């Protein structure tokens, strides 16, 4: 139970069976995952939906999103030993890893320019039931985002794509809240400028 304590109102006094929290926190679950396959599975199960949703919004194609999400968790597994819950929460840590994986994805995509178009159209949002125009707009937004300087791009992505609070953005990027909000606002302005003359001009 994700920090949810459910209390029954007065008419019944019997204690409810609540899903037991594992050692109290996700961070300790991460530590446990070092030795326990069950804990690892639970950790991945807990974060995979959120991470996949974020990555899908960032890369635009279902199969690429599955690949990148898988890679994120591979890195989590490979680096669990260096995770220090006193320095960052697991959530912050995994989003840092995701940020690096997505950066690597776009770098490698730059080297294989022909491949992603097929992937986006076969496995992207279009395949999930939306229409091609909407996919085009999403892809146009991703292209625009890639043109931003990295520090603005990541702040924007965490704020809107991962729907993070500013404090969470700041922690993930290891900057102050004030700096995070400035990056977000500057990023929004840069996006508006970059959109001029393109398909998103009407939108931004």
Partner 1 sequence: MRKIRGQKVIDESFDDGHPVAEAIRSLLPADARMSDEARERMMGHLLAVRRRVDRGAPARTAPHPHRIRWTALGTAAAVLVLAAVLTAVLLPVHFGGGGTKTARQFARLQSPDGKVEVMPTGGKWRAARDGEKLASGWRVRAGEDSFASVAFPEGSIMRLTDGSEALLQAIGKQSVTVGHLTGGTYHRVRAGTRYLVSNRGISARALGTAFSVENREPGNLEILSVENAVEVEIGKHQPIKVSEGEVMVVSMAQAKQAVKQPVSRERLSDQRLCASVQKDVEKGYSSGIYEKLDVPLEAQPASQRPIVSESFPLTLGGVAAESGAALEWTVSAGIDFDALVLLRSEHSEPGYPDDEIARYADTSIKSATDDSATRGRTYQYRLVALSGAGVPVAYSNTLVMSASEPGARPEPVSVTLRGSLLPGGISLEWSVSGAPVFSGFVLERVVEKAPGGSATPAGSASSRRIDSASVFFTFVDDSVAVGHVYSYRVGLVVDGAAMVYSDTVTLEVKP
Closer by beta carbon to partner 1, 76 or else 99: 76
Token pair 């204690």: residue: 15
Residue of 137, 146, 150, 153 whose CA lies nearest to 188: 153
CB of 140 to partner 1, least distance (A): 8
| 172 Cβ neighbours under 8 A, 6+ residues apart | 92, 95, 96, 99, 158, 164
Residue 10 C-alpha from the chain's centroid: 41
> Which helix (DSSP H) or strand (DSSP E) does residue 146 occupy?
helix 132-147
Closest approach of Cβ 15 to partner 1, in Å? 10
Minimum distance of partner 1 from residue 40's CB (angstroms): 6
Tokens of 174: 């290891």
Closer residue to partner 1 in complex, CB, 61/99: 61
Of 27 and 119, which CB lies nearer to partner 1 in the complex structure? 119
Task: Give the shortest CB-132-to-partner 1 separation in angstroms.
Answer: 5
* Least distance from partner 1 to the Cβ atom of residue 87, Å: 19
Of the pair 23, 115, the CB lying nearest partner 1 is at: 115
| Count of residues making up the chain | 204
Burial class (CB in 10 A: 0-12, 13-18, 19+), 43: buried
Output 69 or 99, the one with its CB closest to partner 1. 69
* 32 Cβ contact partners less than 8 Å away, ≥ 6 residues apart: 22, 23, 39
């Amino acid at each position: 139970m994700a920090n949810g304590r459910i209390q029954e109102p007065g008419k019944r006094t019997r204690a409810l069976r609540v899903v037991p929290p594992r050692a109290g926190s996700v961070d300790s679950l991460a530590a446990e995952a070092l030795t326990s396959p069950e804990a690892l599975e639970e950790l991945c199960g807990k974060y995979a939906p959120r991470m996949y949703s974020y990555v899908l919004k960032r890369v635009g194609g279902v199969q690429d999103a599955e690949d990148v999400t898988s890679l994120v968790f591979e890195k989590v597994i490979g680096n669990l030993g260096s995770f220090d819950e006193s320095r960052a929460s697991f959530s912050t840590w995994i989003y840092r890893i995701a940020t690096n994986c997505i950066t690597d994805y776009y770098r490698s995509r730059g080297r294989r320019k022909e491949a992603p178009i097929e992937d986006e159209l076969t496995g992207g949002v279009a395949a999930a039931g939306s229409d091609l125009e909407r996919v085009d707009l999403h892809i146009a937004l991703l292209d625009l985002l890639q043109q931003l300087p990295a520090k603005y791009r990541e702040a924007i992505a965490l704020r809107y794509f991962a729907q993070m609070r500013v404090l969470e953005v700041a922690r993930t990027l290891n900057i102050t809240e004030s700096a995070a909000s400035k990056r977000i606002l500057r990023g929004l302005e840069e996006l508006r400028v970059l959109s001029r003359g393109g398909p998103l001009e009407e939108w931004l």
